[in-house]
Chains A and B, each alone.
Chain A
Amino acid sequence: MQALWGERRRIGLWRRLWLALMQGEKDLGLAIPDAALAQLRAHLDDADLEKAAEYERRLRHDVMAHIHHLGDQAPAARPFIHLGATSAFVTDNADLVLMREAMQLLLGRIGAVLVALGKVARRYRALPCLAYTHFQPAQLTTVGKRMTLWMQDFALDAEELLNRITTLRFRGVKGTTGTQASFLELFDGDHAKVAELDIRVSRAMRFDHVLPITGQTYTRKLDGQVLAVLSGIAQSAAKFATDLRLLQHEGELLEPFESEQVGSSAMPYKRNPMRAERMTSLARFVIELEGNAWHTAAAQWLERTLDDSANRRLVIPEAFLAADAILVLATNVAAGLEVREETIGEHIATAMPYLATERLLMRGVKAGGDRQQLHEVIRAQSLQGSNDLLDRLAHTPEFKQLGVRARAAELDPAAYVGRAPEQVDEFLDRVLPDLMRSIQAAAPAAATAEVQV
C-alpha cells in the first residue's frame, strides 16, 4: 500500500497516461512521429525525481516540471507531450487508478480477515458463552455466533468495495473546463474522434466506464464515496476491536501475545490488548478523514477551485494507508485469537441459575402458581446471588407448594443458545462462499499479515 501511494508510482502513471493520450491522438489522425511514442515508451519508469524537483523549484508547477523532465529524457516526444490536456488529465486520472488499485488491495485484506475469523467461527460454532446487552450478562449465544457479528460487518464492507471497484468511472480526456474544446480544435471539429479519444485512453488505462460529465476535475463526490467505504471498514474494525477489549477484560477472548512480548514497562504481569487498542485508534482517524472528502465535494466552485488539492493529497493516501494498517492488524488479531473455554464456562456457570429461573417461572405458572407472586420470589432470591439459587427457590413455600424445581436438563447451556450454531453454518456455508469468490476474482491475494510492532 505504501508503494502504491509513493511518488515513483504516481509519476509512472502520469507517463502512462501521456503515452495513452499520444497513442490515441496519433491513431485518430494527428501527425505524431513513431519516434516520439517509442522514446516515451522507453522512459515510463525511469523518472529522476531530483531533476523533476529542480524544474518544480523554478516553475512552481508539478505537472509542468514533470513534462519538462520527460521532454529531456524523450526529446522526440517533447513537442507532443500533454497535447490538448490540462493538469487534471494526469493528476485526476492517476488518482482514480490508484484509488481503484488501493481498494482492490483492501478487498484482499478483508478477505484475509474473513478467512481468519471464519476459522474461529467454525471451530466454536456451538460453544456457548454469555451474550451481553448493556454489557450486562443477558442470555447465551455461542463464540462462533459472535464471530459472525463481526464477520458480517466486514462482509458488508467488502460488498461496498466491490461495488465501488466495479463502478468507479474514469475522468478521461476532457480538457480545461471539461468541454473538450481543445481536443475538438485538434481534430478539426470532429466530435466523433474526440469522443473516441476519451474512450480509447480510458480503455488503455483499463477503465470500462468514463464519466460523461466533468468540470476541470472529476466530481469530488467520488472521493467522498470511496472514503465512506474506508470509513465503513474502520467502523467494523473498531467494533471488533472494542468487543475484543471488553472480552479480554473478562478473560474470555484474548488477542495474540508473543512469547517475549512485554505488556507494561512498569507492571510485568500485564497483558494489554494493545493491537485492538491500536485498531480503534487508527479507526477513529479514518472515520474522521471521511468528513474532509464530503467537505471538499461541497466546497468546489463552478468548474473547479484549487481548495481541494492540498487536502486531497493528504486525506486520500492517509485514509488508505490507515485502513490498510487496520486490516493487517485485524487479520493478525483474528488469526491468533485465544479462546479461553474454561473461563467462558465459569462465567456461564455463574449465570445459568438466573437463566434457568425463566423456565422455572413458566412451569410454576403451569402448575397453578401466580406469575406475579413467583416473579417476586425469584427477584428477591436472585438479589442474594446465583449460588444455590435454584435450591433456595425450591425450598421457598411458593415453589415447594407447587412441587416445581429445576431439572438437570434445564441447566445445560446448549439448550439456551437458540439457533446460534445453525446461523453460523448458514452464514459460513451459504452467504460467505459467494462473497469470497467475488473477492478472489477482484482482489490480489493478500499477503500474510505480520504486524510491525
Chain B
Amino acid sequence: MTGGVLVQSKLPLPLLRRGKVREVYEVDENTLLLVASDRVSAFDVVMREAVPYKGAVLTQLSAFWFDRLKSVMPHHLLTAEAAEIVTRVPVLGPHRDELHGRAMLTRRATTVPFECVVRGYISGSAWAEYQQSGTLAGEPMPQGLVESAQLDPPIFSPATKAEQGHDENVTFDDVVNALGRLTAERLRGASLALYEAGRDYAAKRGIIIADTKFEFGTTPQGELIVIDEILTPDSSRFWPADRYQAGHGQPSFDKQPLRDYLAGVKKQGAWNGESPPPPLPPAVVNATSERYRDAYRRITGSELE
C-alpha cells in the first residue's frame, strides 16, 4: 500500500457520483471506475479525518468476495489491480499510486432500484420495526425475539434507494410489483445465497455478519449481476463473534473505537451529534484502521498488500 490516505479522489475522468465514502467515474459507455476513499462516517456523520487503509480494505474485501461467490452470481468487477487498471485506462497513469488497492474497474450496469438487504440477526431499523409492530419487512415474525437474536432462516428485507436521507424499507411484494415476480425471486434468492455463504465463511473466522446490503444491476445483455461493494464492513454489520450475546446491541467489529470515542464526547456535552464532527485523536483513527485491517486479515487469511 502506497499513496497514503485519501479523503477524496480527483481523477481526469467524468465524475458520475460522489457518495459518503466513494467516487464513481465514467471510463467509457461500458466501464466504470469506483474509488473508495478513506473517509469514515459514524452516527450518520462523515468524520474530517480519514482512516488509513479503509478504502483498500473495502475494495480488496469486495474483490475477494466477488471471486469467492462467483458461482452464486456474476459480478461487475473487471480488476482491482492498479497496474492493470492503468494499462486499460492509460489516462490514469499518473494516478497509479492514488488508485493502489482502492480502485475497481467494473462493468457498467443499470442499477436495480432496490437495496437488497438480508438480515441474519435482528438489529438496527429491523429491531425498531419489530418492537413497534412485531413484523420485519412487513412480514409477521415470531413473538419474543430479543435484540440481536439470530434469524433462522435469514430474512430478505428490501429497501428503496433514497438519494437523500435514509432508505425506506419495503416488502417483497413491492419488489414483485416493481420488477416482476421472476426478477424479484432471483434477487431474493441470490441475496440470501450470497449472504448465507458469506455468513458461514466469516463465522469460522470469528466475525458475525449480522446483516448486509447488496446492490444489483442489469447488463446491456440483460444479465443480472451483483455490483457496488459486497460483504464489507461498510455494507454490513460486522460483530466480533467472541463477544456476541443476544439481548442487547452488539459492539461493531470495525467502528467500535470510533463510536466509543464519539459517545464519550457527546456525553461530555462537547458534541451535539451533528455535522461538523469533533476532531479525532490519532489513537482513535489508528485503532479504527487496525480494526478494518483485522477484518480483512481474518476473512481473507492474508495481509493487505
Contact = CB atoms under 8 A, between A and B. Distances in A.
A429 B72 contact: no
Given A118-B189, A143-B71, A425-B186, 5 more contacts: A119-B193, A123-B72, A123-B196, A124-B72, A429-B189
B296 to A, nearest CB: 22
A428 interface: yes
Contact of B71 (A119, A123, A430, A433): A123
A429 B71 contact: no
A315 B227 CA distance: 56
B124 to A, nearest CB: 25
Nearest to A434: B181
Interface of A: 118-119, 122-127, 142-144, 425, 428-430, 433
A122 B193 contact: yes
A136 to B, nearest CB: 24
B196 A119 contact: yes
B90 interface: no
A142 B70 CA distance: 13
B185 A428 contact: yes
B71 A125 contact: yes
A123 B197 contact: yes
Interface in B137-193: 181-182, 185-186, 189-190, 192-193
Given A428-B185, A433-B181, A122 B74 contact: no
Majority secondary structure of chain B interface residues (helix, strand, loop or mixed) = helix
Contacts of B182: 429-430
Contacts of A428: 185, 189
A230 B202 CA distance: 41
Contacts of B73: 125-126
A122 B186 CA distance: 10
A123 B193 contact: yes
Interface in B64-87: 70-74
B181 A122 contact: no
- By Cβ-Cβ distance, the 6 closest A-B pairs, closest first, are A127-B71, A122-B193, A429-B185, A126-B71, A429-B186, A123-B193
Contacts of B185: 428-430, 433
Nearest to A422: B223
Contacts of B181: 433
B186 A124 contact: no
B190 A122 contact: yes
Contacts of A126: 70-74
A122 B189 contact: yes
A193 B73 CA distance: 64
Nearest to A122: B193
A126 B226 CA distance: 14
A143 B70 CA distance: 13
15 contacts: A119-B192, A122-B192, A122-B193, A123-B71, A123-B197, A124-B71, A124-B72, A125-B72, A125-B73, A126-B71, A126-B73, A127-B71, A142-B71, A433-B181, A433-B185
B77 to A, nearest CB: 15
A124 B193 CA distance: 9
A428 B73 CA distance: 14
Contacts of A144: 71
Interface string B190-215: 10110011000000000000000000
The listed residue with most A CB atoms (<10 A of its CB), out of B70, B72, B73, is B72
A425 B185 CA distance: 9
A7 to B, nearest CB: 35
B87 to A, nearest CB: 18
A50 B107 CA distance: 76
Contacts of A430: 182, 185
Contacts of A124: 71-72
A264 B187 CA distance: 44
Contacts of A429: 182, 185-186, 189
A144 B190 CA distance: 13
Nearest to B152: A448
A431 B72 CA distance: 19
Contacts of B72: 122-126
Nearest to A339: B71
B195 to A, nearest CB: 11
Task: Indicate the member of A119, A123, A143 with the most B CB atoms within 10 Å.
Answer: A123
A125 B226 CA distance: 15
B26 to A, nearest CB: 28
A123 B190 CA distance: 8
B208 to A, nearest CB: 19
A206 to B, nearest CB: 26
Nearest to B200: A123
